[in-house]
Amino acid sequence: MELICPAGTPASLRTAVDAGADAIYCGFRNETNARNFPGLNFSPEELTEGVQYAHFRGAKVLVAINTFPRAGALELWHKAVDDAVAAGADALILCDIGLMAYAAEHYPGTRLHVSVQAAAANPDAICFYVERFNAKRVVLPRVLSIPEIAAITRASACEVEVFVFGGLCVMAEGRCSLSSYATGLSPNMNGVCSPASHVSYENAGGTVVSRLGDFTINKFGSGEPAAYPTLCKGRFQTEVSTGYIFEDPVSLDAATLLPGLRDAGVTALKIEGRQRSRAYIENVVRSFREALSAMEQGRAVPAGMLLAMSEGQSNTLGAYRKTWR
């Protein structure tokens, strides 16, 4: 299985390559990618250099252009596709039908990967992208159990990539407007979720209140760890109960499921976190590289090493375990 690693900056890209990534995914420094955060991402020149660095060391670079182009502003997204191809990208990760049509028409020789943002969650939807746009790989949304993934790989004429570590959307990706409902800015249109520009914390008598736009997302008593106000991981109240209605503040760690994913026919494993630092990337990529080596050599995945990342309070196997639902 290939290890697909995130890079928010050229330095992260080099770190990921050196730490053993088979491929790096990254995006341009604008709203064409779903991690459109301040100070992150690549200029076309940086991408070209990054591709050279990766190719020289046998790694691939996949370019995520995974927001939905704004009506009246298609040129920006077309330019991103043009620039990615010119930089030597090994694949484009796309979610918008119109943009896929553009890429398939203008660059039929460039591999097209269906982004998780396209929410292709079954063989029929995947078949649509394969037949219409010659997609070579699909990144599955994080809503599927391992048996469901196995069924998809059996029935699909393209490679399957799944997330194994990092941030976890509770909602079907690419189909969520919670962020823009509270802030006006959404992952689909602006490449941001619960953006920092709309976050505030207030300290009221020992209680910290985290807010997003006009809405309180959580409150923390003293001594309680406080989380960033990502909307779907906030605490809310209903007449039934009060708490983490949608999801606890957890992140995905599917390291222990690697053998199951391999047996399910998965081609590539994706680590989330283009917004994270070099130190995170170094650590997580190296650990997964070692875990994969161990698995390939028939050794048990070294528990201690994986524990290094999963110890603590806030990991989940997510939808890979059916009871999550």
Partner 1 sequence: MSLSLLQLKYKLDGCIYSSREDAIMTLSNTPATALPPLVSLALRPLPLYPFQLFLSAVLRRIVQQHPRMFERLGSYAGKRYGLAPSDLPFAFVLDTAPQAARLTVVRSLPLRLDARISGPLQILLGMVNGSYDGDALFFSRAIVVEGDMEAVLALRNAVDDAGVDVLQEGASLLGPPGRFCEALLREYFGGEQKKGLSSVSRRQGETSWN
Partner 2 sequence: MKLTLGPVLYNWEPDAWRDFYFRIADEAPVDAVCVGEVVCSKRLPFFQDPVPEVVERLASAGKEVLLSSLALVTLGRERKQTASLAREADLLVEVNDITGLTHLDGRPHAIGPYVNVYNEATLSWLARNGARRVCLPPELPASSIEALAKCCPDVELEVWSFGRVPLAISARCYHARLHKLTKDNCQFVCGKDPDGLPTDTLDGQSFLAVNGVQTLSATYANLIENIADLADMGVVSCRLSPQAVDMVAVARIFRDVADGKLGPEEAQHALELVCDGTTFSNGFFKGACGAEYRTGAPAGPG
Residues found near partner 1 in the complex (CB under 8 A):
8-12, 29, 37-40, 43, 46, 165-169, 193-194, 196-197, 199-203, 206, 208, 210, 220, 222-228, 230, 233, 249-253, 272-273, 275-280, 283-284, 308-315
Strands 91-94 and 60-65: parallel
Beta-ladder partners of 44: none
Give me the least distance between CB of 212 and partner 2, in Å please. 10
Query: Of residues 85, 97, 199, 305, which one binds partner 2 by CB under 8 A?
Result: 97
Query: Of residues 85, 172, 199, 250, which one binds partner 2 by CB under 8 A?
Result: 172
Can you spell out the DSSP letters for 24-39? EEE-BSSTTSS---TT
Q: Which amino acid is at 250?
A: V
* 120 phi and psi angles, rounded to 5 deg: -85, 100
Evaluate the CA torsion angle 54, 21, 126, 68 in order and state its sign.
negative
Q: Based on the shown chain and the rule CB under 8 A, indicate whether residue 299 belongs to the binding site for partner 2.
A: no
Q: Please indicate if the annotation marks 232 as binding a ligand.
A: yes
Query: Of residues 219, 278, 286, 289, which one binds partner 2 by CB under 8 A?
Result: 219
Give me the least distance between CB of 115 and partner 2, in Å please. 11
Determine which helix (DSSP H) or strand (DSSP E) holds 212, and give its type and residue range. Answer: strand 207-212
Q: How far is CA 186 from CA 23, 83, 195, 257, in A?
A: 27, 24, 9, 31
Give me the least distance between CB of 260 and partner 2, in Å please. 18
Name residues whose C-beta falls within 8 Å of residue 165's C-beta, 6 or more positions apart in sequence: 251, 252, 253, 254, 255, 271, 272, 273, 284, 288, 309
Residue 27 binds which entry of partner 1, partner 2, none, CB below 5-8 Å type-dependent: none
Q: Which is nearer to partner 1, 69 or 229 (CB)?
A: 229
Within residues 20-59, the interface with partner 2 by CB under 8 A covers none
> Are 13 and 54 contacting, i.e. CB atoms less than 8 angstroms apart?
yes
Q: Please indicate if the annotation marks 26 as binding a ligand.
A: no
Give me the least distance between CB of 20 and partner 2, in Å please. 31
CA distance 154 to 123: 9
Query: Of residues 205, 214, 221, 313, which one binds partner 2 by CB under 8 A?
Result: 214
8 three-class SS: coil
Residue 182 binds which entry of partner 2, partner 1, none, CB below 5-8 Å type-dependent: partner 2
Name residues whose C-beta falls within 8 Å of residue 19's C-beta, 6 or more positions apart in sequence: 5, 281, 282, 285, 286, 289
- Point out the annotated binding site for [4Fe-4S] cluster: 169, 176, 193, 232
Could you tell me which residues are annotated as the binding site? 169, 176, 193, 232
Q: Interface with partner 2 by CB under 8 A: which residues?
A: 68-74, 95-99, 101-102, 118-125, 127-129, 131, 143-144, 148, 151, 170-172, 174-178, 180-184, 186, 188-189, 213-219, 232, 235-242, 245-247, 319, 323-325
